[in-house]
Chains A and B, each alone.
Chain A
Amino acid sequence: MRAGDLVIVPISRVMVHDSVIDAVMAGLRDLGKEKVWDAAKVGVFVDHAAPAPTPVVADSHRVLREWVRAQGIQTFYDAGEGVCHQIMVEEGYCEPGTVIVGSDSHSNSYGAVGSFGAGMGATDIAVALALGRTWLRVPESIKVTFRGALRPGITMKDAIMRVVREIGTDGARYACVEFHGAGDLPQGDRITLAGMTTEMGAKAGIVVGTPEAPAWLRPDPDASYMRTVHVDLSTLEPQIAIPPRVDQVSDVSQAIGIPVDIVFLGSCTNGRLVDMQQAAAVLRGRRISPRVRLEVVPASRRQFEDAMADGTLGILSAAGAVIGSSGCGPCLGRTGGVLAAQEVCFSTANRNYKGRMGSPDASIYLGSPYVAAVVALTGVIDDPRPYLEASDADFDALVARRRADRGDRGAASERSGDRSRELVMAMPQRKGPQVIGMDQED
């Protein structure tokens, strides 16, 4: 089997979520299939608009629950259990070295444990449910290698955004992005990496050398790559994506002082315990800016309960955060805090398209939980590192200065102070050098 070959492959599991269930059921009906090919290999999740925000959605959820019962599907996670991708990985539904298809574009996340996870539309999912097989074109691969250790205040979200900055939203179209030097990272960091390959157009993203994967699952020593990218983690700066493109990424230093109205900490990209802990490290014992709302949505019930047990959620709540029930929530503008026109959001999720989180006239910046926490505290985008290093007195002085600088700017003001357009104008072409902070290739 070679890149470019068209193949029909068996599927080890199909992931279906609430947002597409009507179309999936219609597809199965039109195919003349009363039952899925193997109920034990299907996972169903109510996460995209959950708990139901409207009667129409509630009715769709009702139909979904009846369908799940009629099909005898045991792997069912109802509203509040969490984001499909987080549960698929952390509960062990992703078998390494197999093909999994999901009704969500971020199904690439399953590469965190060495599964070939590909997102597909509702009809493809209906066909997969009917046949247990799908067709694929064998993708070419892009090799991304990480070296060095992250400095304090920098995360793998910054690392993957640095990669997106380099490759662009279409640089990995139809390709598989292979991550080297990331197999030993915590599972959550690997989900962040694999899931974000979707934002480069990739068919799949696979982390090489994970503890979950069997020894045979490794690239051929003579594998060829359409492109290689190296990232030196030890020189990485905090990264932010500037609206309305995921690949309009710059160092945070370029955006310091931009006022923000609402901060979203959550999603399959950054809604895990460690992400909430990073935010809590900044917010412990403090209140967020009176100009900002902070919404925290744990990625799954497991992450929610872990964050309750160790006090993280208590810290965030005391800081003024709204804690939402686990799910996709605000990430896609369906429920749990959508954006008004002119509002500026800072989100730890994965997309900042126009209209993604509500009004098409809102702006969305993307970044790490550390940056998100500092934004919540000060009301403006800032580099989190000075805060993490400061004494209490210096910390409070920093916050006071940023809050004073912001003044009344924000959604409610005539001039929002959102400099996204000028930042984009000043950006270099993204198809630049492929070695980031390093000067040799391998």
Chain B
Amino acid sequence: MPRAWVFGDDLDTDQMVPGRYAPFMVGQDTFQNYAFCDARPGFAKDVRPGDILIGGENFGCGSSREYAVAALKKLGVGGIVAKNFARIFFRNCINLGIPVVESADAVSLAKDGDDVTLDLGAAVLRTPRGNATIRPLAPFAQEILSAGGVVRYLAAHGDFPSVE
């Protein structure tokens, strides 16, 4: 069962992977081991594939560093649910194939370590204390996500999904 990792507002990408542990600094194979090393020591070791990150406002603000998202992807994070997202972080997640959805109440319902299920089809995050409603993604983003990211989408279709 996926578990919840609950964060607060304005979680910036320097907290996800500090600049000093960029893949560029420590190598392409090890940078994910530093995910949340200052903000949530032990995260990289304890996170299990499919786990869900839950946050408040402005999740992923700050630096455009995609390796913050790449680290979460490598660690198998199954989705992120927050009140809202910083724009570059949101794009990076869609591009790398991590579901990112907005929910006003997930952060208050879920507690750290809860067993949770992100049901995109039903547009809910199931928690032990009830279901949090999530806002469905735009079809454009859904198409990219269901292909597993923008590179796979483009490799298969040759161009972006329709914006009509």
Contact = CB atoms under 8 A, between A and B. Distances in A.
Interface of A: 5-8, 18-20, 22-23, 27, 30-32, 48-49, 54, 56-57, 60, 103-105, 119-124, 126-127, 130-131, 133, 135, 169-170, 173-174, 201, 203, 245, 332-334, 338, 351, 353-356, 358, 360
Interface residues of B, number: 45
Contact of B10 (A49, A105, A170): A170
25 contacts: A6-B140, A19-B65, A20-B66, A23-B23, A32-B155, A48-B24, A49-B24, A121-B66, A121-B69, A122-B66, A123-B92, A124-B91, A124-B92, A131-B154, A170-B58, A173-B86, A173-B87, A201-B58, A201-B61, A333-B20, A334-B19, A354-B38, A355-B14, A355-B15, A356-B14
A170 B160 CA distance: 28
Contacts of A201: 58, 61, 86-87
Contacts of A131: 154, 159
Contact of A22 (B12, B23, B95): B23
A30 B155 contact: yes
Contact of A56 (B27, B70, B87): B27
A333 B88 contact: no
B54 interface: no
Contacts of A333: 18-20
Most central of B18, B155, B159 by chain A CB within 10 Å: B18
Interface of B: 10, 12, 14-15, 18-20, 22-28, 38-39, 57-58, 61-67, 69-70, 84, 86-88, 91-92, 95-96, 138, 140, 149-151, 154-155, 159-160, 163
A175 to B, nearest CB: 9
A23 B67 contact: yes
Nearest to A5: B163
Nearest to B23: A22
Contacts of A170: 10, 57-58, 61, 84, 86
Contact of B163 (A8, A30, A123, A351): A8
Most central of B20, B23, B28 by chain A CB within 10 Å: B20
